[in-house]
């Protein structure tokens, strides 16, 4: 039985779905207050250890969840900016 060919980029050897799952996890970790370097390291460690939920295909339900999450993160950023917390968060992430 032939294996299905996986669409992988030559540079990273990860599928687009794997890259998307890692990117999504980084966004979630950033919204939780982690610094960019730390959030990236955590997301890649989770990927390496098989802890990320990586869909076989990008389903309509997955796209809807992703849109809702991005919308929520954007709303949180706007709320922080409105309350004057955006500069505080930026300064905190530089430490």
How is the chain split into domains, by residue range?
16-93
pLDDT value for 3: 46
Higher pLDDT: 89 or 20? It is 20
pLDDT value for 50: 92
pLDDT value for 13: 85
Global pTM reads 0.53
Cα–Cα distances in angstroms (integers) from residue 59 to residues 13, 37, 56, 64, in the given order = 22, 30, 9, 9
pLDDT value for 58: 59
67-95 pLDDT, tens digit per residue, is: 888 888 888 888 888 888 777 666 655 55
Instruction: Give the separation between CA 22 and CA 25, rounded to whole angstroms.
Output: 5
φ/ψ of 85, rounded to 5, equals -90, -10
Instruction: Give the separation between CA 31 and CA 5, rounded to whole angstroms.
Output: 35
């Amino acid at each position: 039985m032939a294996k299905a060919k996986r669409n992988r980029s030559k540079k990273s050897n990860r599928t687009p779905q794997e890259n998307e799952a890692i990117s999504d996890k980084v966004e979630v970790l950033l919204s939780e207050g982690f610094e960019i370097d730390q959030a990236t390291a955590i997301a890649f460690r989770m990927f390496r250890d098989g802890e990320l939920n990586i869909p076989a295909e990008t389903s309509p339900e997955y796209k809807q969840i992703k849109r809702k999450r991005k919308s929520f993160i954007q709303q949180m950023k706007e709320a922080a900016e409105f309350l004057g917390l955006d500069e505080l968060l930026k300064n905190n992430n530089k430490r």
